[in-house]
Amino acid sequence: MRSDTKLEKFVGPTQKLLLLVTDLLCIGIGFLLATRLRLSGDVNYWGVEYIGLNMIIVLTLFIGGAYSSKNIRSTPKLPLKTFFIIVASSVPCLVFIYSLGPERFSGLLGRGVFPVAIFLFACMSVLLRYLINQAFQRKKSSSHVLFLSRDSERLDKEITTDLSSISNNIIKADRITAEAASLETVVIAPDFNPTREEHLRLINLRVKGVPIYSLSDFFETHLYIVPVQEIDDDWFVRSEGFAMLHSSAAIRFKRFNDILIATVLLLISAPLVVTAMAAIKLSSRGPAIFSQTRVGLNGKQFTLYKLRTMVCGAEEKGAQWASKKDPRIFPVGRFLRNTRIDELPQCWNILKGEMSLIGPRPERPEFTEQLSKLIPHYDLRHVIKPGLTGWAQVMYPYGASTYDALKKLQYDLYYIKNYSPILDLNILLRTILVTLRRSGR
């Protein structure tokens, strides 16, 4: 499995210093651009009062955790979290401005220069943070991670798959010894019940600031998945999160966004969809719109609509997953799949309330029945509405096997547990990138 994550504790000082320097530059550029845009002139931003504003903004970022190792990692909520911290810095800035006297900041307060400057700085800072993070995360972490389990087979299995994508220095053991004092992260498998002596050593490590995770928490924090094999029936009952299931405000807010965005998408894409339908009719015999039964909320079946991308009679021999170079897909259909244009008619499913903009992709009943027997907790993905796009779609390549379905379920469960408007926005942005790269299937 691919991962772009690093361990929280080991974001180097070089990266933090680079973020600080770029933030200071972006603040200056934001003020200059805002002045030119709103006043068509120049203001001297080198005075003591303006340097004070810079310090307040940077201090707010520091207090908000923008320079902490945890938040520097490219977490799903990073973009908007950084954006909101920067916007929040405008409050102490305004207090500072009116404490010294607004007349000393005349070039900043007139014609909305200040809010424009903060907005420009926030956009630049979020973008540069993403680029810097990507540049620093090309290498795996060199931190020492101790993975504790009494089961040697579990050790080999987990380390050769998921955990190996995070660090080059995974230490596997079935006990914790005195040498563990030099460790930097500890991960405890469910089957590891520490002895009294081991318990004391773990407590000592925790006191020294060493992060100690359960295996499922570690996967969730660093890989943004819920490891299906490591959770039991009790997990769903006791775990925190799941706001989408019990928060009426979250449900209404998500539904409002679904209706708004689906309506806008339908209106904007109407000419494109009509053009695509004409291209389908000219290049392949059969209807342009394709309908298929899928499994939705609480296992209820519904009719899903797509632009047809396969030749008619493609599944005369029964349901089957699409392959990378599937001969059933005609050329125009392949383009529509790669660009995700074929999914646009599902906006109608969203407006009908059968789907959401974001959620687990709806599967066919034949596949759902099969996968439910093979994959533990597979039916949990049906506790929310299926989506036009989802966390699994932007984090994992197209799935065409039971193994892929298992991997995607882990991302789906992460989304169900950790839903937030910020995560939804992150998924939308990633979906746009996937579409631009034409990496659909």
User: pLDDT digits over 69-91, tens only?
Assistant: 655 555 666 666 788 888 888 89
Check whether residue 36 and residue 110 sit in a common domain: yes
Residues 6 or more apart in contact with residue 383 via CB below 8 angstroms: 245, 297, 298, 416
Is residue 57 assigned to a domain?
yes
Average pLDDT over residues 82-107: 83
Residues 220 and 262 in one domain: no
SS3 104: helix
Same domain, 253 and 207: no
Helix ranges (DSSP H) in 40-171: 48-63, 69-72, 78-88, 90-100, 106-109, 113-136, 152-160
Among 178, 197, 195, 205, residue whose Cα is nearest residue 187: 205
81 vs 141, which has greater pLDDT?
A: 81
149 part of a folded domain: yes
- Does 235 map to a domain? no
Residue that wins the pLDDT comparison between 372 and 36: 372
| H helical segments located in 208-355 | 215-222, 233-238, 243-246, 248-283, 331-338, 346-351
108 in a structural domain: yes
Kindly indicate the confidence band of residue 3, based on its pLDDT and cuts at 50, 70 and 90. Answer: very low
Say if residue 34's pLDDT is above 90: no
pLDDT band per the 50, 70, 90 thresholds, residue 103: confident
**335 and 303 within one domain:** yes
Both 101 and 203 in one domain: the answer is no
Residues 121 and 154 in one domain: no
User: Does residue 353 carry a pLDDT above 90?
Assistant: yes
Q: Is residue 229 part of a domain?
A: no
Q: Are residues 216 and 271 in the same domain?
A: no
Which of 136, 129, 118, 115 shows the shortest CA–CA distance to 82?
129
97 shares its domain with 199: no
Which CATH number do you get for residue 154? 3.40.50.10190
% of the chain with per-residue pLDDT over 90? 34
Q: How confident is the model over 51-61, as pLDDT tens digits?
A: 888 899 999 98
Q: Which of 38-47, 100-109, 112-121 has the lowest mean pLDDT?
A: 38-47
Which of 136, 162, 194 terminates a domain? The answer is: 136
User: In terms of pLDDT, which residue wins out, 134 or 84?
Assistant: 84
CA distance 93 to 71: 23
pLDDT at position 1 = 35
In terms of Cα–Cα distance, which of 257, 276, 253, 255 is closest to 265?
A: 257
Most confident of 165-179, 211-225, 381-395: 381-395
Domain of 178, in residue numbers: 141-224
Q: Is residue 236 part of a domain?
A: no
Residues 263 and 407 in one domain: yes
Confirm whether 2 is domain-assigned. no
423 and 279 co-located in one domain: yes
Among the candidates 136, 158, 185, a domain finishes at 136
Does the residue 160 lie in any domain?
yes
Average pLDDT over residues 361-379: 94
Domain count, the chain: 3
Same domain membership, residue 188 and residue 45: no
Which of the two residues, 352 and 87, has the higher pLDDT score? 352
Q: Which of 101, 136, 171 lies at the terminal end of a domain, its last residue?
A: 136
- Residue 66 has what pLDDT? 80
Q: Are residues 194 and 265 in the same domain?
A: no
- The answer, yes or no, to whether residue 386 has pLDDT greater than 90, is yes
Could you tell me which residue, 229 or 5, shows the higher pLDDT? Answer: 229
